Structure 1
Amino acid sequence: MDGRNSGGCPEHIAALSSDGAARKEKRYRPLVYICSPFAGDTEHNIIRALGYCRFAVSKGYIPLAPHLHYPQFMDDGNREERDLGLNFALVLLSKCDELWVFGHRVSDGMAREISKAKKQGIPIRHFTEKCEEVQGT
């Protein structure tokens, strides 16, 4: 078995959706934009971004990580498609309650996301690659 339930959903995701306590509680979960590197070592960066999303869920948030979504059907190596994907992401950022920046390296795309959040007054929180919050940044 490859770690999927009978419906084909990965077991760790199925466990999240089948948590009866969370379903009954129906509490508000803020939408948080996950800001982390994508380009470069994409395989490593995707794994990290997935972990950051999982961390956000564990803290009671709904994670939004466009850099995991758009490269599924848009070519990040094509400058025009990359710019279009980033513009889509910036629209989604405007709908978020907070922006969480992960890691010490800020890519050009991340810098645009951070700048947009500042302009829109969206709270920004900084975390290490190990999901430890960094105060005073």
Structure 2
Amino acid sequence: MLKGKRAYICSPLSAKTREERMFNMGLAKAYLDTIREVFHCRTYASHAYLPLMLDDTIPEERKLALSIGKQLLDFCDVLIICGGRISSGMEGEIRYAHDTGKDVYWLEGGRDPFQLRKIKNWKEIEYAVQIPENHISE
């Protein structure tokens, strides 16, 4: 299904503390490797590396990071949602992917690890959007 395609990895970065953001960055790197190995595709995730250069809590740096992510998403064929929640940054990426005609999948755990569920429209997943807290950079 994804063999040879370019897949944009969409997972949470925002968190209450820098340590939690770095943990989320590590998860993004793990998703990159796992999805590449399991589905034999090329994987991309700007948030796996950009937090080393850009601070998600500084509005202009967050805006730049989101812009870079969008350019990378334009380069990709599909978007894969990873994790059990959708942050506001992820929401923007997912909506953009749908608007530009990209296939969107959700890597779900639980009973069927490494199974991709195709997401046909936003209504299927809007329940997973997190409610932003004041101290989480959204």
Structure 2 counterpart of 1:9: none
Give 3-state SS (helix, strand or coil) of 2:91's partner. Answer: helix
Q: Normalising by structure 1, what TM-score?
A: 0.72
* Structure 1 counterpart SS, 2:86: coil
Correspondence 1:1-137 to 2 at 5 A: 29-40=4-15, 41-58=20-37, 59-128=39-108, 131-134=114-117, 137=124
- Cα 1:114–1:69 change in 2 (3 A) is same
Aligned equivalents of 1:48 and 1:90: distance in 2? 20
Counterpart-to-counterpart distance in 2, 1:73 and 1:103: 24
Tell me the TM-score normalized by structure 2.
0.72
- Structure 1's unaligned 5+ residue stretches are 1-27
**Which of structure 1's runs of 4+ aligned residues deviate more than 6 A?**
none
For 2:49, what is the secondary structure of its paired residue?
helix
Query: What's the CA shift for 1:35?
Result: 0.1
Higher mean C-alpha deviation, range 54-63 or range 117-126: 54-63
How many Å apart are 1:131 and its aligned residue?
3.8
Q: Offset of 1:120 from its aligned partner?
A: 0.4
Unaligned runs of 5+ in 2: 125-138
Maintained 8 Å contact 1:102/1:131 = no
CA distance in 2, matches of 1:115, 1:92: 15
User: CA contact under 8 A between 2:54 and 2:62: conserved in structure 1?
Assistant: yes
The alignment-based identity, stated in percent, is 29
Aligned residues: 110
Q: Which has the larger radius of gyration?
A: 1
User: Quick one: structure 1 residues 61 and 48, their matched pair in 2 at CA, closer, same or farther if it must change by over 3 Å?
Assistant: same
8 Å contact kept, 2:9–2:80: yes
